[in-house]
Amino acid sequence: MRRVRAVFRNAVIWGAGWAAVPATVFTVLRLIGVVPASVSWHDGLGLAARFGIVGFVAGVVFSTVVGVAYRGRRLAEINWVKFGLAGGAITAVAVPLFLQMMNLLTDGHFIPWHLVLDDSLWTGALGAVAAGGSLKVAQRSLAASPESKETDRIESDA
């Protein structure tokens, strides 16, 4: 149960982070006049919410893979750059598959792959930043914590 809570917390953080990026970009572009007034704030928030949902799913997938691949290792032993690259690769693959699955479930058919695979670039970049950044933050907080010796291993119970 502890591992499930950790996966859920990670997914919420990823979802919030992924929603914040397009919300910020939309707001800035709207305020400087790049986004026309005919595009409502509601449209921008809807885009951010969709990114948040995809980020949540990417966080679940990534956290699950990390729990299996790095089980029992200390956080200090993991290279945050390689970890970030792995996060980018996992999300670049998982997100287009998720989008196709959602389209199949809601609309009954797949959409052309070129419309989904271009999302791999963005989701891969966001996944890499989220994974590498979150590991680096965790490593720094553990280094500053006096009781880090017992708590810095990735849990193995599911």
pLDDT digits (tens, 9 = 90+) for 34-90: 988 888 889 889 989 988 998 898 888 888 888 888 888 887 888 999 999 998 998
Confidence of residue 158 (pLDDT cuts 50, 70, 90): very low
pLDDT tens digits for 90-128?
A: 889 988 888 888 888 988 888 888 888 888 888 899 889
Environment class of 65 (CB within 10 Å of its CB; exposed 0-12, middle 13-18, buried 19+): middle
Q: Domain locations in the chain?
A: 2-151
In three-state secondary structure terms, 79 is: coil
Residue 155 in this model has a pLDDT that exceeds 70: no
- Name the pTM for this structure: 0.69
